[in-house]
Amino acid sequence: MAGDFVMGGVFSLHHYKVTEEHNYTTVPEPFRCSGSIDPRELRLSHAMVFAIEEINNSTELLPGIRLGYQIHDSCAAVPIAVHVAFQLLNGLDPVFDTGDNCSQSGMVMAVVGESGSTPSISISRIIGSFDIPLVSHFATCACLSDKQMYPTFFRTIPSDQFQADALAKLVKHFGWTWIGAVCSDSDYGNNGIAAFLHAAQKEGICVEYSESFYRTHPYSRIKRVADVIRRSTANVVVAFTSSGDLRILLEELSREPPPPRQWIGSESWVTDLDMLRFSFCAGTIGFAIQRSVIPGLREFLLGLSPSKAASSSLLTEFWEDSFNCRLDKDSPDCVPCINNFWPNPVSNACFPKPVEFLSFSEVLGMILAVFSVGGACLAVIIAAVFFHHRACPIVRANNSELSFLLLFSLTLCFLCSLTFIGAPSQWSCMLRHTAFGVTFVLCISCVLGKTVVVLMAFRATLPGSNVMKWFGPPQQRLTVFTFTAIQVLICIVWLVVSPPYPVKNLSTYKDRIILECALGSALGFWAVLGYIGLLAAVCLVLAVLARKLPDNFNEAKLITFSMLIFCAVWITFIPCLCQLTWKVHCGRGDLCHSGFHFWTHTVHFCSQMFHYFIQARKEYQKKIDEQEIIIISGMSSLHIPKVPQFWVIACVC
């Protein structure tokens, strides 16, 4: 359940996990629990839900704040408990929110659990590094009292040190001085029985044997412990075990008529009602946890109806195990699945919806990645050719500084497309829009600078004109920097006020979840696009004004053509973006259009440039003594032979 602050819950709802052999050739299956549900753990988990709902409904405890929760099943296994701890740190999913507000962190504020000491130790060591408290209701190992090792661990139950001393005094009280001891092979059992044996020695109690076991140990190990109990001469057995472990041992003891034994139980199992089915455990004594009546809890737990059970796979499993019947979801008590789930074809169970996003593994993602990387490499190659021939007169006269900057911006524009591939995250959502906007403006600023230089260069040839002193290289650099800085400032304001964030799109399709990036501030998004469109429009107007310049140096025609293609792509894209139903597909279409657009221009520039370098240099050597023309770039003029128009345009582009 969502809320302003989310609490985590970890309970051993099952006592076993499915064991799978990993062959290291396929992706391992996710962890899965097995066995029947522990009713007590289920009751404890619902007690946590009840407490959170009581807080949310109270006007005095946390007014104006709503608590949410995430409850996980650890299967009483350390690997799954560790996996759950990382899930609680990162959020159930990678920080997705279906609402308008996005949490800045996926971490929970605190965790309730675990019931076992060993899983609690593992969880506390992980989340303690992030100063997240773990409050346990049943982890009693005395080792957890070490605040240097577990500074963020707290519990609402006494340490086993008190119970161990009390059990030793209890045994001494009844005059039992010859006993046996068994324990769980875990932090809870080993530390607990060690504390008990130390206290028993002080009380003058002798111990015939002390055996440890665990429920996942081989059958031979369990049988050996059972045989030790059968053959022993001690009539009193102190069992410092968890209920799940002891259940396995008692089942083995029940295979043969067990000898009469007086059982002394630790708090973990002595009040477990499931142990009543073992008749030879009658008369077991021990210390129970003090109970109290919580108003409303009984009614909350007994308020479980078929409709509520049907909405939860866990409750459905518990219902069918408890009542030995199938919970029919087609009954009049049928309820819809929650947002992230979808019913199976027969509508008797809810399953998680498949999650979709543009990934590198799908065909569209691969094509876009190839175009992006290929285009970037092509731009780098063109830049390398320019640099290699930087001493050529036409390259020197071509305002090479803006040309290199333009190729650099084209390379970044290609690579920015890669940020649109993969599962959206907080950082990728902020990067994909802002980086694309800044690099796009840098590209158009260079083209705009070139257009102005071409336009002013020919006006400078008029008698008495000194206009070029205002459009020299320093002014060109300042123009590009200023135009780009304005876009950077817009993006910074956008990110500070309301940045883009990842969301789950549950409305476009009912049977699947689309992972995408919300804009955060729509005004910021349209400001970025609007500024790009403004620069493109200015560049187009100036290029049109310069279209009638002399044919020997008319780069404006090529710029006009490029801007017309650019405007056509964006004019068709923006209306599509405004349609919410097509939002995801148009986002992918935008990437393809942008990649194709830049790819087309780069191939065009590349082909003409190589045409120049292969042929123009030969023509230059032939016509070195022929007619001369003056090509003006910035504040300088060079005398070079007259060459065909498209060679000059290709070099400038």
148 and 236 assigned to the same domain: no
User: CA angle, 100 as apex, 98 and 106 as ends, to 5°?
Assistant: 60
Q: What is the pLDDT of residue 448?
A: 82
Distance CA 389, CA 399 (A): 13
| Cβ atoms of residues 75 and 15 within 8 Å | yes
452 and 515 assigned to the same domain: yes
Distance CA 179, CA 310 (A): 49
399 pLDDT tier (thresholds 50, 70, 90): low
Q: Does residue 650 carry a pLDDT above 50?
A: no
Q: Does residue 638 carry a pLDDT above 60?
A: no
Q: Does residue 39 carry a pLDDT above 50?
A: yes
142 and 170 assigned to the same domain: no
177 and 131 assigned to the same domain: no
Q: Does residue 603 carry a pLDDT above 50?
A: no
136 and 173 assigned to the same domain: no
Listed in order, strand segments (DSSP E) in 104-177 are 110-112, 134-136, 153-155
405 and 509 assigned to the same domain: yes
| Total Cβ atoms within 10 A of residue 26 | 7
Q: Is residue 334 part of a domain?
A: no
88 and 199 assigned to the same domain: no
Mean pLDDT of 56-67: 90
317 pLDDT tier (thresholds 50, 70, 90): confident
Distance CA 608, CA 645 (A): 11
CATH number at residue 247: 3.40.50.2300
Mean pLDDT of 84-88: 90
Q: Is residue 321 part of a domain?
A: no
Q: Does residue 89 carry a pLDDT above 80?
A: yes
Mean pLDDT of 596-610: 48
253 and 381 assigned to the same domain: no
633 pLDDT tier (thresholds 50, 70, 90): very low
Return the half-sphere exposure (C-beta side, CA atoms, 13 A cut-off) of residue 52. Answer: 24
Q: Does residue 342 carry a pLDDT above 60?
A: yes
Q: Is residue 319 part of a domain?
A: no
Q: Is residue 544 part of a domain?
A: yes
580 and 490 assigned to the same domain: yes
173 and 68 assigned to the same domain: no
Q: Is residue 643 part of a domain?
A: no
Q: Does residue 391 carry a pLDDT above 70?
A: yes
43 and 108 assigned to the same domain: yes
Question: Is omega for the bond preceding 114 within 30 degrees of 0, making it cis?
Answer: yes
Number of domains into which the chain is organized? 3
133-151: pLDDT as tens digits: 999 998 999 999 999 999 9
Task: Report the percentage of the chain scoring pLDDT > 70.
Answer: 75
The closest of 391, 417, 385 to 404, measured between CA atoms, is 385
Q: Is residue 402 part of a domain?
A: yes
Q: Does residue 174 carry a pLDDT above 80?
A: yes
Q: Is residue 353 part of a domain?
A: no
264-293: pLDDT as tens digits: 999 989 988 888 888 888 899 999 888 888
> pTM above 0.85?
no
210-229: pLDDT as tens digits: 999 998 899 999 999 999 99
Q: Is residue 136 part of a domain?
A: yes
CATH number at residue 451: 1.20.1070.10
435-470: pLDDT as tens digits: 888 988 888 888 888 777 777 766 655 555 565 566
Host domain of residue 257: 162-286
80 and 64 assigned to the same domain: yes
- Could you say which of 155, 175, 196 is where a domain stops? 155
For residue 172, CA distances in Å to 64, 116, 238, 269, 284 come to: 55, 28, 13, 21, 16
Q: What is the pLDDT of residue 35?
A: 81
